[in-house]
Each structure stands twice: as structure tokens, then as C-alpha cells.
Amino acid sequence: MLALVVASLALYVPAVTLPVMTLSRLGHETSTSILGGIDALWQDGHWALAVVVGVCSVIVPLGKLVALLVLSSRRSGPPPRSLLAVLELTGRWGMLDVLLVAALVAAVKLGELVQIEPAPAILAFAGCVAASIVATGFAAPLVHDGGDEPPTSRGSTSDGAPA
């Protein structure tokens, strides 16, 4: 699980800093990254939308990756409930950034006047999401078990030996 989390963190940086899509409109091309898009929204006065995109596309995924990193780095003992709560909360918001991109594409797609093409960050984003999903799958039993049940309820005796 640790290798998947490290891979996801390594892909996270290019996923938010490289161009995500290229927009071609009337012969003019514009490419922007997630961070660049958030900045452009803020500069254009769309503060609420900039905050939503920033939270859903930058802060929540990074929080999830940090929680997974801490969880996968632990050697013994049950994980803290706060860590499991972070994973549970971020799992519920995990696809909102994809919905935001889909809504953006739908909003600006005006027949042949506008073309939207994926850019390099899409591959990094897809790899980051895939590695994160697999790592979360390894962590899921801890989240659903509550993380701090005594070992006897997981099929072992009080001294940690298998039952």
C-alpha cells in the first residue's frame, strides 16, 4: 500500500501543475492547469467557484493521500479514529472534481466553435486517481471496521496469535 500511496503522491504534483486541457476557440488555444484554473477563477471574481474547485481538486485529494501515507506508514496499533474519519470524508468527495471538469466541458462546448482536448496532466491525474483507489481498497477494511477494535474481534487472541 505504501508504494501505491507514494506513486499517487508523485503523480499528484504534475496532475495539478501541468495543463489539464487545451481549449481552442476561433483559432486561439489556451491551456491551463488545475492550479492555473483556480487562479484564473479567483482573478475573474469567481471566488466561490475558485474555492469549490480548490477544495475538491487540490485540498481533498491531498488530504486523502496524506491520510493514506500516514496509515500505510504505521507499523503497529490501530489507526487513530481521526485518520479514518479523514479517509471516510474524502472518499465521499472523491469524484466531485471529475464532475466539475465534465460540467466545464459541457458549458463551453459550443458546436464547432470550441474544441477541448485533453492535455498531459490528464495522464498524471488518471494515474494518481488509480493508485489512490487501489491504496484506499487496502485501507477500506480499517475504515469499515472502525480501526480500533480489539484484535480478538479480527480473528486473533488477546496476545495477537491467530485464533
Task: Let me know if residue 52 belongs to a domain.
Answer: yes
Residue 153 pLDDT: 43
Task: Let me know if residue 29 belongs to a domain.
Answer: yes
Task: Let me know if residue 27 belongs to a domain.
Answer: yes
CA distance 5 to 11: 10
pLDDT band at 117 (very low <50, low <70, confident <90, very high): confident
Residue 21 pLDDT: 81
Task: Let me know if residue 162 belongs to a domain.
Answer: no
Handedness of CA 41, 43, 45, 51 (dihedral sign): positive
Task: Let me know if residue 9 belongs to a domain.
Answer: yes
Coil vs helix vs strand at 25: strand
CA distance 55 to 57: 6
Q: List Cβ neighbours of 158 (8 Å cut-off, separation of 6 or more).
A: 150, 151, 152
Q: Tell me, yes or no, if the pTM score tops 0.85.
A: no
Residue 68 pLDDT: 87
More confidently predicted of 90 and 95? 90
Look up the domain containing 44 and give its range: 2-149
Task: Let me know if residue 119 belongs to a domain.
Answer: yes
Task: Let me know if residue 10 belongs to a domain.
Answer: yes
Task: Let me know if residue 155 belongs to a domain.
Answer: no
Per-residue pLDDT, averaged over 9-13, amounts to 92
pLDDT band at 14 (very low <50, low <70, confident <90, very high): very high
Residue 51 has pLDDT above 80, yes or no: yes
Question: Which one, of 93, 101, 90, 95, lies nearest residue 37 by Cα?
Answer: 101
Residue 10 pLDDT: 93
> How many domains does one find in the chain?
1
Distances (CA, A) of 98 to 74, 103, 143: 31, 9, 24
CA distance 130 to 132: 5
